Amino acid sequence: MTTRHTVEMGGQTISWLQSGRGRTLILLHGFPLHAGMWDALHATTPHGWTLVTPDLRNFGESRGTPALSVDDHAGDVLALLRHLGCEDAVIGGLSMGGYITLAVHRMAPQRCRALVLADTRAEPDTDEAKANRVRLQATARERGPGAVLEAMLPKLIGPTAQAGVIPEQLRAIARINTAEGIVDGLEVLKTRPDARPDLAAITCPTLVVVGADDALTPPSSAETLRDGIAGAQLVVVPDAGHMSNLEQPVPFALALWSFLR
């Protein structure tokens, strides 16, 4: 059974979905989405595991002061771990969720039992990418979160998924977000640090997953993660773009659950 929980921590109201019972796996969502992108995974949470999927601050149902850096969100994740009474957990995320996972590890490596880095990268934004974030911030202010999703959609999913139901699923998720949350989220993406110098310090087991057709965080970025993290395991999901968990839910879940085993 999947249940929703909400708690106030240090002035922030953080909401999450939880299923299963046992060791904790926290998965962080991508941009411009919320925890709803992990819904299908809750139905497959294996015996012995608790899956926790939070809405990051000012996404989905979580609210608080503006979160303007990966470290702000990482602080929320660490506060949530304390609230759940976990010494450590498997922490992971897709894309923006992966950027924040790397920040959690940088801030508190002892809290990371293992990492899952899906369709994400250690490289910071290029100048061109930063300029695009600023344009999208204007789009969010003028036309709302839905328009940001539409602008990103061609690169957010692979060619096969463009024709199916996933665009509508993503629209339904993105609709719930606020323009303010999206503007702040773009600031988080734009200002995130270069995480490449931190990779050598990661010694916990790490799974790197990437859609073979990911146009936003391509397999070459996943290889940089795999090569920088000792012992990291890379799974390339065929026929999937950036949203590999939504585009190919069964291969994604198999890779994740066999890694945890």
- Comparison of 31 and 259: residue with beta carbon closer to ligand MLT: 31
SS3 33: coil
Give the binding-site size for ligand MLT (rule: CB under 6 A). Answer: 7
Measured from the CB of residue 236, what is the shortest distance to ligand MLT in angstroms? 18
Of 12, 15, 95, 245, which one interacts with ligand MLT (CB under 6 A)? 95
Contact 118/155 with Cβ under 8 angstroms?
no
- The DSSP secondary-structure symbol of 192 reads P
> End-to-end CA distance of the chain, in Å?
21
- Beta bridge partners, 91, equal 26, 115
Mask of contacts with ligand MLT, 31-70, x by CB under 6 A? Answer: x---------------------------------------
Measured from the CB of residue 248, what is the shortest distance to ligand MLT in angstroms? 16
Site for ligand MLT in 178-207 (CB under 6 A): 189
- Comparison of 95 and 101: residue with beta carbon closer to ligand MLT: 95
Site for ligand MLT in 15-34 (CB under 6 A): 30-31
Residue that has been written with the tokens 């992966």 in this structure = 98
Structure tokens at 254: 């198999």
CA-CA distance, 261 to 240, in Å (whole number)? 24
User: Count of CB atoms within 10 A of residue 172's CB?
Assistant: 10
Site for ligand MLT in 241-260 (CB under 6 A): 242
Structure tokens at 3: 């249940």
Measured from the CB of residue 230, what is the shortest distance to ligand MLT in angstroms? 25
Measured from the CB of residue 185, what is the shortest distance to ligand MLT in angstroms? 8
Measured from the CB of residue 47, what is the shortest distance to ligand MLT in angstroms? 30
By the rule CB under 6 A, 96 interacts with ligand MLT: yes
Of 70, 216, 236, 255, which one interacts with ligand MLT (CB under 6 A)? 216
Contacts for 176 with CB less than 8 Å, ≥ 6 apart: 34, 36, 60, 61
- Comparison of 95 and 169: residue with beta carbon closer to ligand MLT: 95
- Phi first, then psi: what are they for 202, rounded to 5°? -85, 115
CA-CA distance, 261 to 243, in Å (whole number)? 23
Strand pairing class (89-94; 48-54): unpaired
- Comparison of 179 and 216: residue with beta carbon closer to ligand MLT: 216
Residues that bind ligand MLT (CB under 6 A): 30-31, 95-96, 189, 216, 242
